Structure 1
Amino acid sequence: MPRKRSTDEGDELLARLGSLTAQARERAEQQRTRVELAIALQRGMLPRDLPAAPGLRLAVQYTPATYGLNVGGDWYDAFTLPDGRIGLSIGDVQGHNIEAAAYMGQVRAGLRALASVTGDPGELLARTNELLLSLNSELFATCTFMRLDPVTGVLESARAGHIPFVWATADGRAGVADDEGGPPLGIDSGTRYPVTRHRLGTGGVFVLLTDGVVEGPSLDIEEGLDQVVRLAAIAAVAGLKAQALAGAVIKGAESVGHEDDAAVLVVGLDAPCVPGLDQAGVQP
């Protein structure tokens, strides 16, 4: 009899373990489905095509994070403004879930919609900030918005809590932009965002990115930005294609530990700018 009782208890334990295993598999499958849905949502809201203009070189790379079976809300965008100039944005939504991915879509759509009213980067970010506050969400987003004239190479930029962009010129100069910025979008009403004017010369590049490219457990943000500066300088001097530089930058993101989304937007010009302007590259 004792042996029979021991066998029954063993069968009961195995049944419980089997039930727990089935529940764990079901939860894992649900979480995997959530991740796949969020990634599909992200990719569905990112632009499929980039604008074209004589001499303009645009390239993007995007890698969703799957750390902890979650995804974030990074985005990039490039589109033609009503006056023919090019609008460029890159940003990052707080959080790593479907809600962050959905909020990303709202921010990107808001920027595009308001850009039809004003293309001034500072005013555009200010209006987008008020729009997001009206949604009463607990989320917020960092963002950089630029307006580029591909004919003259003149570029105006405003930054909302986002990491600065990297620049490089064909004569070997490179660095991290020191633009003054404002707070992230969706936090405080009445915020103003300063606009900084640059010029993109022939052969020069601007590299816009999110912090998942340059910051993680294996690399701090200063080291990560320095890594991108070196890559941009090499690419500009060697005349590499924008797509090759974007690929090299996203490849370098692997060294940070990559717990977050990673997005890269490279902007370059091949065509000469208006006669009389210095062709060296970036000018504040």
Structure 2
Amino acid sequence: MPPHLSADRPSAQPPPRGSVDALISQTRRLRGEVDAVRRETPVDEEDAQGRWQRALCDLALHQLRDLDAHLAQLRDGPPEVPVPAPATAAHRGTPGARGQDSLLSRVGSAEWNLLTDEASWSGELYEILGRDATAPPLTLDELPSLVLDEDRPMLTTMVTDCLIDAKPIDGEFRIQRPDGGVRTVHMMGEPVLDAGGSTASMWAVLRDVSELRRSQRTVGETRETLQRQQHVARTEHRLAVELQEAVLPPWRGSLRFPRQGPGALDVAAHYLPSSASALIGGNWYDALELPDGQTLLSVGDLTGHGVTATSGMAMLLGALRGMAVAGTQPGQLLSWLNQLIDSTVQPALGSAVCCRYTPATRTLGWAQAGHPAPLLFRDGTGCALAAPDGVLLGATSGAVYGQAEETLREGDLLLLHTEGLVPLPAGTSLAGTAGNPGETAAVRSLLDLAPRFGEARTAQDCIRMVVEEFGGTEREEDACVLVARIGS
């Protein structure tokens, strides 16, 4: 093939071999680093971000491999164009026998002589197009026969602009191989001018970019999936926050329950969000004045995050309030809540503590479902109340929940909380049975606040102390705390 030169400009000189070798070394070192990142990226079909990162690494590796091969060609100089020879038995019928997936077979070249109507193809171009190496190369008029119908106008326009207006060719089209496969080819070329400035021939370099485009599509698809998931997550978070704010009592200070009469409770509560997750959990706190003058106190936590957890929490809290208003005692109330969770379509587990306070006698009746017991603070010291039997809500059908009773005094302080209020070192479990090291450590940390609680004037002051002590530390889960002080 004659050199691809235009009559009005000199040929470019090849770069020094040492500089190209240095670029090849840098490219291969970068390939190794990108490959290491790819291997460290976890493979999980459910993780859109991980799939997007892996697709980006695959695309980068594909481009770096091509760059390595192209630099090697630049270093070694242009190959000689072989004269087509009769095909051997091994080659006949297997156009890709030289290595269809080899890097060098992705780039071929061609020249079309306009004066003689002759065409000259490199062996690599035969492999790209899936043509028999013994067949004559196609002329410019015949080349569109390989191209898909919808891409032919683009190829025709590029060739026409090159031959008539001497515009460089730079575009992509898809070809159909004889075996039925479709490949994407990137074509770059320019006219070769004779001494009089007329177009004598046209040369082009054709590159099989099918794998590259496939990798780019994968990156685009995983990016879109990730963006959709992020949009869904943001929407879900907003809905979960709005639902939680609509359900939890919007207290901004201490409240009195009941509003009239002796022995009333001074109540305050607070929700502490997770610092490790943007998702909202199913924690709740509640205080409700009942028709008989008693007061319902409860805190709980439903497993899960997001709208599913907050909607489930809203359902439980609504059922809890309704049964309490009807006069249901705490033990029976938790049994029915357990039956409610057991009959729902979406399985879940929940923990709760439910208290019913009678102001006339300062008596507290309470039950728990796999939940930390209320803490009682009196005269500058504190202790956890002895818990009656009770398993997690939703853990087993037909569960029976015991009920305990405690006589309180004026000035006593009750603290109800969900697990996770006191952040613990990594690897320490808070859940479990009584005596669990994590639970014991959390309770001990809260009981250490007893002297400070003794100096507090209101329940809201106690909440502020809890938040100052534990609110600024890292917590994996969100949590709720409720404080009730027995008045005169």
Q: If the length of structure 1 is used for normalisation, what is the TM-score?
A: 0.82
Distance 2:463 2:475 in 1: 16
| Residue of structure 1 in register with 2:337 after alignment | 128
Which ranges of structure 2 fall in alignment gaps of 5 or more residues? 5-69, 72-169, 171-185, 189-206, 429-437
Report Cα offsets for 1:253-281 as digits up to 9, x if no partner: 3466311111011011121xxxxxxxxxx
Letter in 2 for 1:190: G
**Mean Cα deviation higher: 115-124 or 251-260:** 251-260
- The reply to whether residue 258 of structure 1 matches residue 475 of structure 2 is yes
* TM-align CA RMSD: 3.0
| Residue of structure 2 in register with 1:150 after alignment | 359
Contact preservation (8 Å) 2:284, 2:480? yes
Distance 2:398 2:283 in 1: 25
Shift of 1:94: 1.0
| Residue of structure 2 in register with 1:247 after alignment | 464
Which ranges of structure 1 fall in alignment gaps of 5 or more residues? 272-284
Distance change (3 Å), C-alpha of 1:268 and 1:197: same
**Which residue of 257, 267, 278 maps to 2:484?**
267
| Residue of structure 2 in register with 1:67 after alignment | 276
**Mean Cα deviation higher: 13-22 or 180-189:** 13-22
| Residue of structure 2 in register with 1:278 after alignment | none
Shift of 1:221: 3.0
| Residue of structure 1 in register with 2:412 after alignment | 204
Shift of 1:66: 5.6
Letter in 2 for 1:234: P
Contact preservation (8 Å) 1:242, 1:266? yes
Distance 2:331 2:229 in 1: 45
Letter in 1 for 2:344: L
Contact preservation (8 Å) 2:351, 2:393? yes
Report Cα offsets for 1:175-196 as digits up to 9, x if no partner: 1222123111123222211111
SS of corresponding position for 1:95: strand
| Structure of greater Rg | 2
Shift of 1:166: 1.4
Contact preservation (8 Å) 2:381, 2:447? no
Contact preservation (8 Å) 1:214, 1:221? no
**Mean Cα deviation higher: 72-81 or 19-28:** 19-28
SS of corresponding position for 1:190: coil
Residues 212-251 of structure 1: matches in 2 within 5 Å? 212-218=420-426, 220-231=438-449, 233-251=450-468
Residues 121-200 of structure 1: matches in 2 within 5 Å? 121-169=330-378, 171-200=379-408
Shift of 1:115: 1.4
Identity percentage of aligned residues = 29
**Mean Cα deviation higher: 173-182 or 83-92:** 173-182
Report Cα offsets for 1:134-158 as digits up to 9, x if no partner: 2243112111000001232211110
SS of corresponding position for 2:312: helix
Report Cα offsets for 1:91-142 as digits up to 9, x if no partner: 0001122211111111111111111333311111112222222224311211
Letter in 2 for 1:98: V
**Which residue of 48, 54, 67 maps to 2:250?**
48
| Residue of structure 2 in register with 1:280 after alignment | none
Distance change (3 Å), C-alpha of 1:58 and 1:46: same
Report Cα offsets for 1:8-29 as digits up to 9, x if no partner: 99xx899987886666455333
Report Cα offsets for 1:15-67 as digits up to 9, x if no partner: 98788666645533331221121121112111236544354200000123363
**Which residue of 277, 282, 297 maps to 1:88?**
297
Aligned residues: 268
Report Cα offsets for 1:189-239 as digits up to 9, x if no partner: 2221111111221111010000020244457332222111121x1244214
| Residue of structure 1 in register with 2:238 after alignment | 36
**Mean Cα deviation higher: 60-69 or 87-96:** 60-69
Which of the pair has the greater relative contact order for Cα pairs under 8 Å at 6+ separation?
1
Distance change (3 Å), C-alpha of 1:224 and 1:251: farther
Letter in 1 for 2:409: G
Contact preservation (8 Å) 1:118, 1:124? no
Contact preservation (8 Å) 2:272, 2:478? yes
Distance change (3 Å), C-alpha of 1:24 and 1:189: closer
Letter in 1 for 2:382: A
Q: If the length of structure 2 is used for normalisation, what is the TM-score?
A: 0.50
**Mean Cα deviation higher: 36-45 or 24-33:** 24-33
